[in-house]
Amino acid sequence: MLKNEKAVVVFSGGQDSTTCLFWALKNFKEVEAVTFDYNQRHRLEIDCAKSIANELGVRHHILDMSLLNQLAPNALTRTDIEVKEGAEGELPSTFVPGRNLLFLSFAGVLASQVGAKHIITGVCETDFSGYPDCRDMFVKSLNVTLNLSMDDNFVIHTPLMWLNKAQTWALADELGKLNFVREKTLTCYNGIIADGCGECPACVLRKRGLDEYVSEVGR
């Protein structure tokens, strides 16, 4: 697709961002990854991202975003806040206000420093738990804002935007990386790598998608 271009992947070490990393490695000449340290509930997330980037030989940046923890207490940054889905139209307790706004903005600054014009993120409007900063409209708006703010021509790519979890597993399989994504990524809100705890909302969504995909392909 853009084999002569350079890209930066917003990378957490989870299923979605790891699938996006493999997608970027297939489609771009040079790829770097950026992980944000916001004192998240499970530090293992950062270790997982480090390990994957190291295994794949991808240059990996870790940026300090601890102020986000201070400003936006939630279930991903506080052990005393229960992980639960939103009730009666409310957002889940795992929503971190401003997270993708800040992550993509800083990814843009990093991209400008390393000579990349492409930013890849694993946000998705299909299985997105209602997070407003995962919507296509938000990403397109921020893309325009980034370009205006730095007088540049970045392109934010969202390979998973219109995919459900089963289709995301299908993409990983198309890339030849389904087992890697299943065995080495961390999606679980309780900090358990691979198939996770099986009970938190992230694990339930991940397993439901995998079961659906496996059923479709008859494995």
Cα separation, 16 vs 202, whole angstroms: 11
3-state DSSP assignment of residue 68: helix
Report residue 69 CA to chain centroid gap: 18
Binding-site residues from annotation for ATP: 11-21
- CA dihedral 26→29→30→34, nearest 10 degrees, is -40
Measured over the CA atoms of residue 33, residue 192, residue 139 and residue 164, the dihedral's sign is positive
Q: Round to whole Å and give the CA distance between 188 and 14.
A: 8
Q: Which residues are annotated as a binding site?
A: 11-21, 188, 197, 200, 203
Annotated binding-site positions for Zn(2+) = 188, 197, 200, 203
